[in-house]
Structure 1
Amino acid sequence: MTDEAQGPTIVKPRNFLAALEVDTRLLGMIGAFLMICLVFQVWTGINFQVLRGELSGNPLSWLVEGRFLTPRNIFNLTIQTVSVAIMATGMVFVIVTRNIDLSVGSLLATCSAMMAVMQTVVLPDWMSLGLEHPLIAPLSILVGLITGMAIGAFHGWLIGYLTIPAFIVTLGGLFVWRNVAWHLSRGQTIGPLDENFQLFGGINGTLGVTWSWVFGALAVAATVYALVSARRARLTHDFPVKPIWAELTLGGVAAVVILGFVAVLNAYEVPVGRLKRMFEDRGEVMPEGFSTGYGLPISVFLLIVVAIVMTVLAQRTRLGRYIFAYGGNPEAAELAGIRTRALIVKVFMIVGALCALAALVASARQTFHSNDIGTLDELRVIAAAVIGGTALSGGIGTIYGAILGALIMQSLQSGMAMVGVDAPYQNIVVGIVLVFAVWIDIVYRGRTGG
């Protein structure tokens, strides 16, 4: 270590991982995700060769011919993960405060039904806006957000002020809001939804190749800026800093991941027939040999924005500090002057808003509202948060962990579907993984004292 007069204090790491200061649990989750991808890539390669009647004993050929890591499947995997991941970020706050929310799937259905009815009945007929009016989508989304926040605040009031256990309140909400959604739609499928609304579904709304690269470049720049700012802040307060090579390694890995992700999404090409229709809609003729990729889905962009906002809320605001302080010790938080009852209302209001955003993504992806939308999502959301490292005892949890947990779960289900595993067996595997993940978390926290 250097002297204070000679320059900043640089930590001498015990090993490579210690120098990077990366959470070992996060690395374990990333490793598990990569292992899942590798297994299903090989497995789908074997299945593909069996279908062609050319099965070989060469594992490399299975890996190369696998279909799990193709641009198309990765694109589909990302848009399928979004709605659960958005709600999982809010579930982190709920579980951190030692509560649970079993109603998120039903609340999603109610918000979806409200937005669908607004688009197909209220705004076109009652307010005479017309089916293709540009205000249809934004007004419907606004109504959905208001609905989600109002219901979430109501749940929070019952839990915080009437002291009814969250399990009971949200279990009741699971039944109530599922059937409110049925009543709003009169048990019927509502659609097709507004074209501008459908942009948030994934396949019908992407940034395109050019703007995806622009987003990737800005994301890399933001990552570098964040690393530099964090280092400067530590130096300003005379805190120890990582070696320069460790900072460069982190920045390089982040840049490769971001740009690699964008490149894969851009590699998924729009079908020729769809391109021709797009040109015809503009009154143009598609040039011979023209091709382009989809790029980053708008729904994934929305998830990234939600992740950033929720992370800032958790780490950089008074509300976030209060949430984690309350989860760590509710009695001490109340004695410290935190308005704990109002805090619970705010937490559930946030979850309600996120359920509305998830409803936007889910209904836009299937282009209509259906009665079974969001079914069992409450279990998937809780599982994603817990697999991502949120402690059921409260006080501990991360936003990125919940998103990664959602991605792991969706990867498992998508991979099993690709290799022909029936849905009941998929749920059995997910249940086993959930229990195993909680056990691993208990062992990890016991050894690290976390």
Structure 2
Amino acid sequence: MTSSPTSKPGADQHLSPVGRFLKATEIDTRLLGMIGALVLIWIGFHMFGVVAKGNGSFLTPRNLWNLSVQTASIGIMATGMVLVIVTRHIDLSVGSVLGFCAIVMGMVQVYILPDYLGLGHPLIWVIAAAVGMALGTCIGAFHGWLIAYRGIPSFIVSLGGLLVWRGAAFLVARGETISPVDSTFVLLGGGPYGSVGAVGSWIVGLLACAAILWMLVNGRKQRAKHGFAQRPMWAEYFLGALGCAVAIGATLLVNAYPWPKGIVAQYAAAHNMTVPEGGMFISHGYAIPVLILIAVGIFMTILATRTRFGRYVFAIGGNPDAAELSGINTRWMTVKIFALMGFLTGLSSVVASARLNSATNALGTLDELYVIAAAVIGGTSLAGGVGTIYGAILGALVMQSLQTGMVLIGFDAAMQNIVVGVVLVLAVYVDILYRKKTK
């Protein structure tokens, strides 16, 4: 094992084999804890189905594929909530802003653009999505301005936004459901046609493997260049094999979920194809919302860890006064952070409304609870200064797994809210204990 330049020979001998393994591979222990909790949740709900109904329906390609699509909307917003909470703020308005953006996009593509561009024009979905994301960005920037330049606490501003934008959505649509939305826009929400298929999924999986291997090789070169300690080669091989196994396993999973028979029949009829007697297997593959979430996760990770903006965010969260004294314009940074949160909320509203093929006043209700819970469960500290993007996405998957599992076993909405509330409190308590242990 290669030791660091500052460590003494045998300094790791007091560690257990597991401790030495974790230190060599540099795997985040909190990440392992979240993955362990997620595995227990999945196995628990599946076994409950086996015992209660004779067959488990949780650990199936169909349910896990749907789970990934359902996680996308919350996961996208959770990546932005990480930066908000890291800087010691909070945003309670994201669910209402999502609903308002969805209503405006629905009005634009159903009642406004067809009159000017014609029904089914190829630019309708592009303009509608751009309007939603731009509107979310403006709302977020306005919230940030009130917080930074008018000194109103973020809790009050976002709580007011929760009420204002939900009411505004009702007034704009007069309480009506706007449906159906543009046919191309719907593809952004997933479904058989809103997926990339088997071939596209294998391309995504292989690109993911190539990216993982490149990051390991490049990371090793950068460590050598700057004189940092290297991981042992066996740890590099292990991490590469593990990452590629996860990418390939996920690809196999999404390709194992076939199109419904009715959709296959429609597709075959539209393309003058004959369906064999035993049926035709067409894979869903990765859903477009999941690919959007992956792209957002990569972008936000780079933004948070590899840019000046990200360094400023964590500097403000660690010590706002010191950050301001060092020359960081903390007020302008606050506006930009909330504008980014608004943009991601607008993007999430695109995914959510496209998935429903409609825009309703109730869309996004209680999403703020799930988004904040996802960030906190993912390791973002409410005390500020600590948080990861991948942790928030994993936290969103944990929250959505709980909700989906409770629906499958028949829990009513009241019980679901109780469980989510308990999980949120426990997550904050675990964060407090972890910070005390690491001090």
* TM-score, normalised by the number of residues in structure 1: 0.92
Cα 1:11–1:240 shift into 2, 3 Å: farther
Percent sequence identity over matched residues?
Answer: 53
Q: Does 1:106 find its partner at 2:76?
A: no
Q: Which residue of 2 aligns with 1:167?
A: 155
Q: Which residue of 2 aligns with 1:442?
A: 432
Cα 1:94–1:211 shift into 2, 3 Å: same
Q: Which residue of 1 aligns with 2:375?
A: 385
Q: How far apart, CA to CA, are the structure 2 residues paired with 1:409 and 1:3?
A: 39
Q: Does 1:242 find its partner at 2:231?
A: yes
Q: Which residue of 1 aligns with 2:196?
A: 207
User: How far off is 1:349 after superposition?
Assistant: 0.4
User: How far off is 1:66 after superposition?
Assistant: 1.6
Q: Which residue of 2 aligns with 1:325?
A: 315
Which sections of structure 2, spanning at least 5 residues, go unmatched? none
| Match of residue 29, structure 1, among 15, 29, 34 | 34
Q: Does 1:137 find its partner at 2:142?
A: no
Tell me the SS of whatever aligns to 2:372. Answer: helix
User: How far off is 1:293 after superposition?
Assistant: 1.1
| Match of residue 277, structure 1, among 266, 277, 299 | 266
* Superposed structure 1 runs of 4+ greater than 3 Å apart: 1-5, 9-14, 282-289
User: How far off is 1:272 after superposition?
Assistant: 1.8
Q: How far apart, CA to CA, are the structure 1 residues paired with 2:397 and 2:315?
A: 28
Q: Does 1:121 find its partner at 2:101?
A: no
* TM-score, normalised by the number of residues in structure 2: 0.95
| Match of residue 43, structure 1, among 44, 48, 59 | 48
User: How far off is 1:16 after superposition?
Assistant: 1.2
| Match of residue 87, structure 1, among 77, 98, 102 | 77
Aligned residues between the structures: 429
Corresponding letter in the other structure for 1:183? L
User: How far off is 1:4 after superposition?
Assistant: 11
Contact 1:193 1:368 in 2 (8 A): yes
User: How far off is 1:193 after superposition?
Assistant: 0.8
Tell me the SS of whatever aligns to 2:281. Answer: coil
Which deviates further from its counterpart, 76-85 or 285-294?
285-294
Q: Which residue of 2 aligns with 1:414?
A: 404
Q: How far apart, CA to CA, are the structure 2 residues paired with 1:370 and 1:3?
A: 58
Aligned-residue CA RMSD (Å): 1.8
Corresponding letter in the other structure for 1:324? F
Q: Does 1:220 find its partner at 2:209?
A: yes
Question: 1:126-174: CA deviations, max 9, x gaps?
Answer: x1x1221100100101111110111111111111111111111111111
Corresponding letter in the other structure for 1:106? S
User: How far off is 1:290 after superposition?
Assistant: 2.2
Corresponding letter in the other structure for 1:22? I
Cα 1:4–1:430 shift into 2, 3 Å: closer
User: How far off is 1:219 after superposition?
Assistant: 0.4
User: How far off is 1:445 after superposition?
Assistant: 1.6
Contact 1:190 1:370 in 2 (8 A): yes
Contact 1:11 1:241 in 2 (8 A): no
Q: How far apart, CA to CA, are the structure 2 residues paired with 1:258 and 1:353?
A: 28
| Match of residue 417, structure 2, among 393, 415, 427 | 427
Contact 1:11 1:242 in 2 (8 A): no
User: How far off is 1:12 after superposition?
Assistant: 6.6
Corresponding letter in the other structure for 2:320? P
